[in-house]
């Protein structure tokens, strides 16, 4: 299995799949995995990094996807191409906030508060914290 994206979600998926005995490779275009430190508790990051080693999850950073075929993914790093056997490819390459409802409510003059990913993409801790801050103002 190849997972495209080495952020929190991609690495969590890799860990979950490795637990089931699947051979997993993660391909990340950035120089390191789990790079959004503000969205990640240090204890969780340490656990995931230990799991990567324990379950032999392949990590390919600074790497581009060149081709996806029925039974493999071709990647490229530093001009060198490598073929990773794979019967499954999962894309975990990020999120984009959706603001259209908030914009419509704003145009109507409705009082509201945006929370969670519609405010800004984060993790569950970020959404709960923002909800707590909003509720505390009421």
Banded pLDDT at 28 (limits 50, 70, 90): very high
| Section 43-59 average pLDDT | 96
Residue 39 has pLDDT above 70, yes or no: no
pLDDT in tens, 77-136: 999 999 999 999 999 997 778 888 888 888 898 888 888 878 877 777 778 888 899 899
Banded pLDDT at 30 (limits 50, 70, 90): very high
Average pLDDT of every residue of the chain: 91
**Residue 102: per-residue pLDDT:** 87
Calpha distance 101→114 (Å, rounded): 10
Calpha distance 108→91 (Å, rounded): 37
Torsion angle in degrees (nearest 10) through CA of 30, 31, 33, 37: -90
């Amino acid at each position: 299995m190849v997972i495209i994206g080495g952020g929190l979600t991609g690495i969590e998926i890799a860990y979950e799949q490795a637990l089931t005995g699947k051979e997993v490779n993660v391909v990340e275009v950035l120089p390191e995995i789990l790079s959004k430190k503000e969205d990640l508790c240090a204890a969780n990051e340490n656990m995931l990094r230990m799991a990567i080693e324990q379950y032999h999850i392949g990590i390919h950073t600074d790497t581009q996807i060149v081709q996806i075929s029925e039974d493999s993914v071709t990647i490229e790093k530093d001009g060198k191409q490598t073929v990773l056997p794979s019967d499954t490819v999962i894309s975990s390459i990020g999120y984009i906030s959706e603001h259209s409802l908030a914009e419509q409510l704003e145009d109507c003059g409705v009082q509201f508060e945006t929370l969670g990913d519609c405010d800004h993409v984060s993790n569950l801790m970020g959404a709960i914290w923002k909800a707590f801050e909003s509720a505390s103002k009421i």
